[in-house]
Amino acid sequence: MSLGKEVKVLLRKELLTEWRQRYAINGMLLYVVSSVFVAFLSFHVVNPSSWNALFWIIMLFTSVSAVAKSFIGESKGRMLYYYTIASPQGVMLAKMIYNTLLMLALSILCLSVYCMLIGNLVTNIWAFALAAALGSMGMAGCFTMVSAIASKANNSHVLMPILSFPVILPLLLVTIRVSKKAIDGLDFSTFMMDFMVIFFINFIITALAYILFPFIWKD
Amino acid sequence: MQKHWWKLVGVVALYYTIFRGFTGEIPQLPILEESIRNLYFHVPMWFGMLLLLLASTVYSIKYLGKNNPEHDIIASELAYTGIFFGILGICTGMIWAKNTWGTWWTNDPKLNSAAIGMLMYFAYAILRDAIDDSEKKARISAVYNIFAFPVFVVLIFVLPRLTASLHPGNGGNPGFNQYDLDNNMRLIFYPAVMGWTILGIWIANLRIRIKKVEKIINEN
């Protein structure tokens, strides 16, 4: 089977299993809404900087818990089954694409609930949306890979944040800076460089995950 | 002697660095004043750390290619020695910051990047401890090591250059070599880089040998 077709089949399977056991996705949606609500209750007056930081912290924790389950939750038997029928690259790409879709959906939800409760401070909404989309994609890719690494160790739920936070920080810092510029309503031309950096980091992470995953998944 | 000459070179270079570093001529510059001598300690320690971490990544790649357990020992011990040098670099940097910027730590991109980079390698150490099976430990930690190094490079070299930074060589600040690293200082700086790097390799070398012996003892 060609890689493209394999990824398509595996992606379909991911979406199907998610649809069949809706508690996982519903749990994630509730997680986002309740963390935004906690933030809303604990902050009363928010200036643009804290608005931005708070949004990204919620996104960070949401994505860690949403993406962590991609490998950590998989049973041993199912991994063994993949091993016999699919290529590692196919499995990795399918999981990454699936997690990217999941993260995009979660970020849209998070942003709308956040704007509704705490208020919308963003001036350049398209730039902010683009930053949020690129940031979510990067987080999805990075956390998918780290979740594959952590799933092989004992106590993987503790390892997941330890391993992933330092790795995601460069991306997160640039994303936070871009979104701050978008909040302040700066022109697109001022953050082209930052978008390039985000793109570059995303590319490195995805490429490394693609190359390194075959070494992780065998047991 | 043919095998050990480099250690002698390292020892001589370090003695020279420490002796000349504390007593040698320095340019009289405002704010920096005597603290410029830290150039012989702080900067070479970071060079040494980068080299050790790069070598560690290379051995991790080698391990994944050949599955030779020896490469795993080398990669992990190089990384641990790199962490040690990183901590030394941060400590010397903090002393320098206290004397020139007036505070031990500031919210500066270069400093924060360095701290995050160290967190990444601490996580590497924890990951190694969290896996029992030695073959699996070697494989998974090699993957994380290779995954972490490019991010570390982006952290240290790309991000601080994008924003304003107090640290020399970043955010539009000139590096030392532009106007204040005179030829007199170069004569000490280059041996210092050599000396500290050799010391790092030596420490790693001893640790690797200890680990190999331990492995042989455990197997019998």
Q: Do A149 and B140 touch (CB under 8 A)?
A: yes
Q: Over the stretch B133-150, which tens digit does the pLDDT of each residue have?
A: 888 899 999 999 999 998
DSSP A12: H
Distance from the Cα of A72 to chain B's closest Cα (Å) equals 14
Q: How far apart are the first and last CA of chain B?
A: 32
Interface size A-B, in CB pairs within 8 Å, comes to 80
Q: Over the stretch B22-32, which tens digit does the pLDDT of each residue have?
A: 877 676 666 66
Distance from the Cα of B70 to chain A's closest Cα (Å) equals 18
Report residue B141 as tokens.
């930690």
Quote the ipTM score: 0.85
CB contact at 8 A, B195 and B14: yes
Best of A145, A149, A198, A217 to disrupt the B interface (most B CBs within 10 Å) is A149
Q: Do B147 and A212 touch (CB under 8 A)?
A: yes
Q: Over the stretch A179-189, which tens digit does the pLDDT of each residue have?
A: 888 888 777 77
Nearest CA in chain B to A153: B131
User: Which secondary structure element, helix H or strand E, spans residue B114, and what is its range?
Assistant: helix B109-129
Of A153, A177, A205, the CB nearest to B130: A153
Q: Do A170 and B126 touch (CB under 8 A)?
A: no
Q: Is the model more confident about B175 or about A21?
A: A21
List CB contacts (< 8 A) between B143 and chain A: 149, 212, 215-216
Q: Is the model more confident about B52 or about A1?
A: B52
Query: Average of pLDDT values for B202-207?
Result: 92
The predicted pLDDT at position B208 comes to: 93
Nearest CA in chain A to B63: A215
Distance from the Cα of B120 to chain A's closest Cα (Å) equals 5
The predicted pLDDT at position B170 comes to: 58
Nearest CA in chain A to B64: A215
List CB contacts (< 8 A) between A159 and chain B: 123, 126-127, 130
The predicted pLDDT at position A73 comes to: 74
Residue B2 pLDDT greater than 60, yes or no: yes
Residue B213 C-alpha from the chain's centroid: 26
